[in-house]
Amino acid sequence: MKKLIARLPKAELHLHIEGSFEPELMFEIAGRNRVEIPFKSVEEIRAAYKFSNLQEFLDIYYQGMAVLREEQDYFDLTRAYLDRCKADNVTHVEIFFDPQGHTGRGVPFDVVAKGIIAGLEDGERRHGITWRLIMSFLRHLSEDDGFATLKEAEPWLERFAGVGLDSSEQGHPPAKFARLFRQCRAMGMLLCCHAGEEGPPEYVRQALEIGVDRIDHGNRAMEEPSLIREIARRNLTLTVCPLSNTALKVIARMADSPVRRMLEAGLSVTVNSDDPAYFGGYMNANFEAVAAGLALSKDDVVQLAKNSFTGSFLPEAEKLRWCAAVETARVGQTPLVLLRTDRKRRTHDNACYRHRGGPDRDLFSQARTQ
Ligand code: ES4
Ligand code: ZN
């Protein structure tokens, strides 16, 4: 199983770039920026990574990202993540960043965006990893703060595929951001929303009402048959994060992961690493943990790899190409798309995206108005 997981091409659809900040790099950057951190060693940092809920993690996560100051820091962070992707055969990434976690400390929006995008472009050049960047709003802040961030982001919007909503879920329902999301939609951005990680099924319902294109986590949707039916009807993808779920006690043990139930309900579920530096593993470790915990079959694992591409924001033709590549890799051959000569011909443009119209979106908007 481990070998199969390693050789399948996979897409990562739920990753916070600040959550890929490994203690070694954190130490290095804190040193060169002369930022004090309350830890004497990398081991001490790792030892502090014990969480009993989402908020305990978030407190440490915001503290960790606070050493990031310069464009080079954001570049190094992104570059290191893409090297890990290469090692795990992750060939396409759709990553979140939290601008308010930086601008709130006085780091200019441009510094953050420039560094991350340069890192993504560098990874595409070096490893052929394609990408989408998603600007995520912090839900513990106000909707007005979100509007101000959208304004700051204006010069960059062409380079972002969409927006997300993350941070402390309970007490901050999606409906708090309904106007902001409507505005983002009108500007041609795709919508993602963390919902049903710790928050109740009602928050997933609100995300559906907003008309999101993807639900991040979505675990607690499984408590409501009507939500399961609606998610299936809209063919929405749920980006589940197995090691995150156990680390944050969203589930007591891996055997309780919703991945199997989602597969059985015919939902498009994917496996993702969320904040891998904090939760103990990148893509392949997440696949291995959930496959072992749920005794998944090889067919299940292949389905999850295909879902990662079909649930992505890639054009339809690219999705089909990657699904074919998953089939090829499954039987132990190297997919053509991963051969160097072929990769050079792969020239779709990551830089420009305002998703206006297109068959998928027509479907979603029909679903919303029905
Ligand atoms: C997050 Cl696991 C998780 N949940 C909500 N917001 C987040 N931001 C970074 N990781
Ligand atoms: Zn997340």
User: Does the Cβ of 288 fall within 6 Å of ligand 1?
Assistant: no
Amino acid at 117: I
Amino acid at 171: G
Cα of 330 vs centre of ligand 1, distance in Å, is 32
Beta bridge partners of 96: 16, 134
Best substitution site from 165, 167, 203, 215 to test ligand 1's pocket, by max atoms within 8 Å of Cβ? Answer: 167
Best substitution site from 61, 169, 278 to test ligand 1's pocket, by max atoms within 8 Å of Cβ? Answer: 61
- Position of tokens 């909707």? 143
**Atom 3 of ligand 1, residue of closest alpha carbon:** 167
Which candidate in 22, 197, 198, 288 is catalytic? 197
For ion ligand 2, residues whose CB falls within 5 Å? 274
**pLDDT by position in tens, the chain (length 370):** 999 999 999 999 999 999 999 999 999 999 999 999 999 999 999 999 999 999 999 999 999 999 999 999 999 999 999 999 999 999 999 999 999 999 999 999 999 999 999 999 999 999 999 999 999 999 999 999 999 999 999 999 999 999 999 999 999 999 999 999 999 999 999 999 999 999 999 999 999 999 999 999 999 999 999 999 999 999 999 999 999 999 999 999 999 999 999 999 999 999 999 999 999 999 999 999 999 999 999 999 999 999 999 999 999 999 999 999 999 999 987 887 877 544 544 434 443 344 433 333 333 333 333 3
Residue 260 sits in which domain range?
2-369
Torsion-angle region of residue 34: left (phi > 0), alpha (psi -120 to 50) or beta?
A: left
User: Does the Cβ of 90 fall within 6 Å of ligand 1?
Assistant: no
User: Does the Cβ of 76 fall within 6 Å of ligand 1?
Assistant: no
- Phi then psi dihedrals of residue 214, to 5 deg: -155, 145
Q: State the DSSP string of 70-93.
A: SHHHHHHHHHHHHHHHHHTTEEEE
Cα of 150 vs centre of ligand 1, distance in Å, is 20
- Position of tokens 């100051």? 69
pLDDT of residue 247: 98
User: Does the Cβ of 205 fall within 6 Å of ligand 1?
Assistant: no
User: Does the Cβ of 54 fall within 6 Å of ligand 1?
Assistant: yes
Question: 28 catalytic, yes or no?
Answer: no
CA 106 to chain centre: 25
Which residues have C-beta within 8 Å of that of residue 119, sequence separation ≥ 6?
74, 75, 76, 77, 78, 79, 81, 82
- Which ligand gives the minimal distance to the CA of 56? 1
Please give the order of strands across the beta sheet that includes 190-195: 10-16, 90-97, 130-138, 162-166, 190-195, 214-217, 237-240, 268-271
Helices (H), the chain: 2-7, 23-33, 42-47, 54-65, 71-87, 100-103, 109-127, 143-153, 178-186, 201-210, 225-234, 242-247, 259-264, 276-279, 283-293, 298-310, 316-330, 340-345, 359-369
Q: Could you give the number of structural domains in the chain? A: 1
Amino acid at 267: L
Nearest to 45 by CA among 65, 66, 67, 26: 26
The CATH number assigned to the domain holding 144 equals: 3.20.20.140
**Atom 5 of ligand 1, residue of closest alpha carbon:** 167
CA 82 to chain centre: 13
Cα of 107 vs centre of ligand 2, distance in Å, is 22
User: Does the Cβ of 194 fall within 6 Å of ligand 1?
Assistant: yes
**Atom 8 of ligand 1, residue of closest alpha carbon:** 167
Q: State the DSSP string of 98-140.
A: -THHHHTTT--HHHHHHHHHHHHHHHHHHH--EEEEEEEEETT
d(CA 220, CA 245): 12
- Phi then psi dihedrals of residue 149, to 5 deg: -65, -40
